[in-house]
Amino acid sequence: MVVCKCRKATKLYCFVHKVSLCGECICFPEHQICVVRTYSEWVIDGEYDWPPKCCQCQAVLEEESGSETTRLGCLHVIHTSCLVSHIKSFPPHTAPAGYVCPLCSTTIWPPKNVKDSGSRLHSLLKEAIMLTGLEKNLFGNHPVSLAVAESRGPPPAFASDPIVNVNASSSPSKDGINITEGYTAPSTVSEIMEIDGPSPAGNFIKSSSPVVRVL
């Protein structure tokens, strides 16, 4: 494992820029069509073909050409329109694992090389798949949602009940008797008193009872 510039542990490596990438920075514009594999693959053989080609139509991919591309979980890059056509070409009853990359036959969903399900690579691939209208076929037992997560309050164990002011006029009663009538809150006043004779604590002690002088 290596660390990308986002300070995340990752195994992905850009062969072109010679930098480590995570599921977020792999989607940056400068890496849109880069050859990305694992770091261990780069150590074994760092050679790659350039310029890269769409893994479906084999057309040369150009940077900032205006054509939309999508990076699959196997890390191959494909025109988004080619991906839509490719997915629609499968029989209607194809199992989720049957939808595979046209070049390496790796399952399209879920992404194989990026385990972080909240990464930008996941989000962009979801959006491309949903353009086909066959997302239920591909997601299978991996349901996903593109909805923005709602803000959540504290769990019940930490939630506080609203403060209720209680006064004499609206005090609760039990069996028709006002339970706060004639009730005075206890108060304790600490006083200092003087005593005669030796004391381990000195001649002054703290007392919560009325002042008493010991003779």
Per-residue HEC secondary structure of 84-146 comes to HHHHHCCCCCCCHHHCECCCCCCECCCCCCCCCCCCHHHHHHHHHHHCCCCHHHHHCCCCCCC
Is residue 20 a part of any domain in this protein? yes
Is residue 195 a part of any domain in this protein? no
- pLDDT value of residue 174: 47
Is residue 200 a part of any domain in this protein? no
Q: Please report, rounded to a whole number, the percentage of residues in the chain having pLDDT higher than 90.
A: 46
CA 25 to chain centre: 16
Is residue 109 a part of any domain in this protein? yes
Is residue 22 a part of any domain in this protein? yes
Structural domain range at position 119? 2-139
Is residue 190 a part of any domain in this protein? no
Q: pLDDT tens across 23-45, in order?
A: 998 999 899 999 999 999 989 99
Omega prior to 51 cis, within 30 of 0: yes
- pLDDT value of residue 156: 46
Q: How many domains does the chain have?
A: 1
> Is pLDDT above 50 for 190?
no
Is residue 100 a part of any domain in this protein? yes
Is residue 199 a part of any domain in this protein? no
Q: pLDDT tens across 129-148, in order?
A: 999 999 999 998 665 555 44
Q: pLDDT tens across 63-99, in order?
A: 765 679 999 999 999 999 999 999 999 998 999 999 9
**What is the rounded distance in angstroms from the CA atom of residue 20 to the CA atom of residue 3?**
6
